[in-house]
Structure 1
């Protein structure tokens, strides 16, 4: 958000600077160099004295009056050859000098003017130029005044722009906070603004959108909970009926079919449980974070696994610290990854962890068939399984990895799939330390 207004401020400053140069060049082209105009105003007294006192003298008294001025003035007046004066001036200024005009040199604090064009002042006067030096010209002071004018104009523009931008910035900051709260799972977050606020129409649309999303999510959760709980009632009845039927069955084939049906019911019951767990991971409000010793928690996860013929190596150091986390949710995520490794590993599974700067990385490796690179993001989608020909006893429901990623995301971390050095898949959990 600050970047937007910083760029806007820089754009305004560049625009004011560009306008300053445009004004300078436009005025120079239309009305002459502004510096010459400033210098002419500062040397106005000397120019007036030359034109109204010296030039008004009779032809034979022109030099006398010029000498009188030399005696009483701090300005130095010299008569120099026309060629020398023309050599000291640029082409444009030489043309003005040739016409008999006054040519100012602000940098040299001087001006040039031909004595006359016809030689009427004295013999040879048409070949001489009057040069006045040490004029009271101070361009630096004039430039400071001009700069001060532009600064005042810039401030006069920037102050209302800053006030206008500040109101927009505050409104956008408020909307940003609402978006963060809503994105973190606080579905009741809304933008509270006065109708006079500049971003009020945008806030109203965001509030309408949030209302719609909240209603949809609440309806989805309600439907999921209702369906899940309604399913558990007939499942319980079927389990009870199958137990009674199994106790009375004497035919071995019938008993085998009953046990297969019981397996299907247990699978359906497990699916309902995982769906309910998924619905609980949609909001950070379900996170109960507290300082937790991470190393003992990871070692405990290895003891929570079902029996397996695979060897499990646990390379977890003791210096992982005690980050803020929900012990139950993180354990669920790690156990899901370990159970997934048990399903697909050939003979070896490895659980490792390490601190990496301001993060903690937890990795689960196996020596199974691995995961194709183009499938490594899809496997975290609910109900997605790599081998759709597998039965659910091997492939599961496709919810374990999705639950693990959601649990890690609630802690502000990430879960990704990579290739393992063991030859199979590698799942890496990255948590803020």
Structure 2
């Protein structure tokens, strides 16, 4: 596929053994709090459901993700992985993964754009049968640059909102050539990862990065999807005054009826102490908004790519730029106002220097669904046509049951009579 293969992570590090030791320590800590992956690990090691599969992944390479990667390898697969964001990789975890005989990790923190896509190409050298993506960059690379790989690919999984949006657009154009599970849209992901994971990790990272409180501050949340709901709820719980901006009238109404102030971004920006974007779209915060912001405002992205805040426009307005704190870049404007951008406008909960991503317990659920979907593709991939597919409800419920069992939580089940009633059409009032 390329004349010179991009080297794995070990070639990029000075002290590989120290990195591997520290990466394994992080993975072991996370594994203690991931009962779903632990239960699946026993099944995968015993049954080897992924024997013969070659899995190429583009994910946020940190301790929680690493336990998913190792699970797939223990299930019999050969796995390659690279990053899905240039600033979210933990090099020590990437190095620890690379020690497994069935895993090759190309993920390196801080690579430039050329290195980022070269690593994706290198991961695809495996000639994958299954892909696992977070943002759809790998699926796009296959279709645009390596269409010869399509013949051997059984299917794929997509982790995040932005990736699913891109895939659905691709599918609508008739351009998606293999089946992909929209893991992001299934309840065990959406209701927990997006709401609790994004809400808690984004706010925690911003607070730790800045050493500032939310209490009494005007926190503007751009977008009121599941991620926005989580950020708004958690910010309100820390005594912030939450303002929501939305383009969808139904979501705006929902935010209004939840008790939040709803404003257009231009009005919200003028009141903001903190602005957090959660839309997955571009140009959410732009020049007209910068012009009315208060001195010292914090700007963070909890959506996906680094295009929600128009940093090019902000750079043109600025007369000076400097690092105010680790992970905080101040843009000083001609009138003396300083607008502070966190994590270079990338995912704040993953790209900030101290970022750890979503809580371990939350990602255990999401990655449990990922693993179940990979197994489904390996066993029944031929049953799915090219296009975007919902995760089978039975798989999603199974992951929830594993989690409840681990937590010692019991719950009701339908009686046969109730189940029959729900499935019938001829029972009247």
Higher-helix-fraction structure = 1
More RCO (CA 8 Å, sep 6+)? 2
Larger Rg: 1
TM-score normalised over the length of structure 1: 0.19
TM-score normalised over the length of structure 2: 0.20
